[in-house]
Amino acid sequence: MTAAARGGPDWWRGGLLFLCVVTLFATVDATAKHLVGRYPAPFLNAVRYGATLAVAVAMLAGSGQLRFWRTPHRGLLVLRGLMLAVVGTCFMTALLWMPLAEATAIYFMAPLMVVGLSPWMLGEKVGPRQWLAVGAGFCGMLLIVRPGGAVSWLGTVLMLAATLAYAMLQLLTRRMAGQVDARVQYGFAALICMVATGVPAPFFPPPVWPDLADWLAILAMGLMSAAAQVLLILSLQRAPASRLAPLNYFHLLLALVYSALWFGRWPDALALAGIALIVVAGLTQTLPSSAALSTKRGTP
């Protein structure tokens, strides 16, 4: 059994990197919610991924890997890039009709999909403790959003598409861990996303061009997305996707904080109970089991 599987140092490093990933993604989502009411989603995504591609090209040029298309596993890399493009496009478009917290909550069916698909796509073993933790986190999510109310059906469909794509993105990243350099994975994703979002962008020009503050916010989305993608690859090289999946719920907590402080949507008592349940569920995966600790103490 590897150190990552036992919850050793590699897994702890992977978990911390993954927390940085979800923090960056949550900030990108909140910024997108702030901007998407004024500017079309295709325009925002094109500028965002243009900045991301510029960072990717600079990184690959600095490492002498600018001809990254010669790498093996090109089919999986293209598929991974398309999944990221679907996530960005569907999520941002859904924010036109849905509040940030509700949209993010639907998005967090992704950990369930990762856990459910990882045994078949990756051959990873998923134990009862992981299923229980993810199920508890899902129940906490239901307490927060209490679906069945006035949630847009179109926004829900878009968010479900983004959810499935994000789960596939994590699984594909884990599948190529150790086989394809992280910078090459990132370069492929940036290029595919730029093409996929850049093609429709000319058909959706902004009614008014952004001022300096909004341009900075849009570019910041691209830079944060770039950093998150690199850290996501590094985290999944250090820990199984199914073990990191419950940490995705930290993104939901941040979405609630942003909703409260940025958009004025404060959680009620049931939502706070849901938050507590999600935190407990995440901690059961973040902390190593007693068996792992006993094994570690007994190792010379």
Q: Give the start-to-end residue ranges of the domains of the chain.
A: 3-298
Decide: helix, strand or coil at residue 227. Answer: helix
Residues near 181 by beta carbon (within 8 Å), at least 6 away in sequence = 65, 71
State how far the alpha carbon of 220 is from the alpha carbons of 52, 81, 215, 216, 291, in Å.
Answer: 10, 20, 8, 6, 43
Q: How confident is the model at residue 143 (pLDDT cuts 50, 70, 90)?
A: confident
| Higher-pLDDT residue of 288, 121 | 121
In this structure, the number of other CB atoms found within 10 A of the CB of residue 122 comes to 19
Rounded CA-CA distance 108/112 in Å is: 8
* pLDDT on residue 256: 84
pLDDT in tens, 197-235: 888 888 888 989 999 999 999 989 888 988 887 788 788
* pLDDT above 80 for 178: no
Rounded CA-CA distance 220/32 in Å is: 11
pLDDT in tens, 96-115: 888 888 788 778 777 777 77
Instruction: Answer yes or no: pTM beyond 0.75.
Output: no
pLDDT in tens, 59-82: 788 777 767 667 777 888 889 889
